[in-house]
Amino acid sequence: MLTPMIVGLIGLGLSGKTTVFNAVTRGDAEVGSFQSQKDAFHRGRVLVPDARVDFLTEMSESANVVYAEVEYFDVAGFSGEKDSASESDIPQVLRESDALAHVVRAFANDSVAHPKGSINIRRDIEALDEELVFTDLILVERRLDRVEKQAKVVKDDKVRHEAEILKKVKDILEQNTPLRAVTLPPEEEKLIRGFRFLSEKPMLIIINIGEDQIDKIDAIKAEFADLKGKPNLDLAVICGKIEMELAQLPDDDRQSFMADMGLKESALDVVIRKSYSLLGLISFLTTGDKETRAWTIKRGSTAQSAAGAIHADFERGFIRAEIVAYEDMKRCGSYPEVKKHGLMRLEGKTYIVQDGDVVVFRFNV
């Protein structure tokens, strides 16, 4: 995946979405700025922290280092009212996202009233999901109407087939079921891919708690553990306010404050790790004196396919891949030691690349 993974941050108004955006991007976007700019969005690109890349860079004394990247978009809050949903109101950046992160308000603040009048996490999750489903339904109905009219005029099997699949999708959405919760045959999934349905995208639920709830993180995770059992859905619990403050500190100070607060991972680490998992992504690594780099690919990719992430010529002229498991490389500390202990493997086109594999591709074009 040569382009960064894109995650769209969504949520009801006043959920702390922009605060979470600042926390994961170390940004300084103005909180509450969307109240008067409904079509605006914040954009931030961050490097994916990876201790494996750090080690290999030092080991190889690389002149350059390239981490994987993630791009975040923070858009105006949703209403949570499906009857007011409009497909035209959806920012295009959300359609282009690989995954969505729904920031749900759990913190209390008397000076910032919840748009629905009270804190209710499950209600807000369901309300936004209903709005996404309804927005997709509008899109399907519009397209289906055109396709059915076309089918009456033109006797085309492709048009008729598309109408059948759209009717199937319409039936699913009318049951108030997000498309991420169903598995369609590959052929049907491919046909609807171009619509970029919002309810089809993997979803990370981010429960945004207050400072006084830090000691309740485990209890909150347990309360909503059932969400993690749903298809293409995962859960994270963070305190956006504290995380935004921590994000502005130097690394050493940040680690010290996290330890004092009892936080094991930063918001950035949590969101990236869970987003990668939801999307089925892994990283393989290349290293040398010129450059150490993390390459993001789909889990289950073959060695030949992974080679194409670097360059099409690598895939087209693939001969073999020299593979070293990262843990073996770390333990040995150098390529000569790896070879000495017989830990480098030669793999062919069909080898399934594993997360953390250190790879050298041999090719000829």
Domain ranges of the chain: 5-278, 300-363
175: left (phi over 0), alpha (psi -120 to 50) or beta: alpha
Q: What percent of the chain has pLDDT over 70?
A: 96
pLDDT for 280 = 93
pLDDT surpasses 70 at 291: yes
143-197: pLDDT as tens digits: 999 999 998 888 899 999 999 999 999 999 999 999 999 999 999 999 999 999 9
pLDDT for 67 = 96
Average pLDDT (312-340) is: 98
pLDDT for 330 = 98
Phi, psi of 104 (to 5 degrees): -115, 130
pLDDT for 44 = 96
Tokens of 223: 């309360």
Average pLDDT (239-261) is: 90
1 pLDDT band (50/70/90 cuts)? very low
Fold annotation for 5-278? Rossmann fold (3.40.50)
2-30: pLDDT as tens digits: 578 999 999 999 999 999 999 999 999 98
The chain-wide mean pLDDT, for the chain, equals: 93
CATH number of 300-363: 3.10.20.30
- In this structure, the dihedral spanned by the alpha carbons of residues 216, 217, 221 and 223, taken in order and rounded to 10 degrees, is 10
Residue ranges with strand state E in the chain: 5-10, 41-47, 64-66, 69-75, 99-105, 203-208, 233-238, 281-287, 291-298, 318-324, 345-347, 358-363
Specify the 3-state DSSP secondary structure of 302. Answer: strand
300 pLDDT band (50/70/90 cuts)? very high
- β partners of residue 322: 346, 360
pLDDT for 87 = 66
pTM listed for this prediction: 0.92
214 pLDDT band (50/70/90 cuts)? very high
Question: Is residue 97 a contact partner of residue 8, using CB atoms and an 8 Å limit?
Answer: yes
- β partners of residue 204: 101, 234
pLDDT surpasses 90 at 268: no
63-74: pLDDT as tens digits: 999 999 999 999
Q: In the block, which residue shows the tokens 């000829």?
A: 364
Check for a shared fold between 5-278 and 300-363. no
**Rounded CA separation 169/189 (Å):** 10
Please indicate whether residue 127 or residue 252 has the higher confidence score (pLDDT): 127
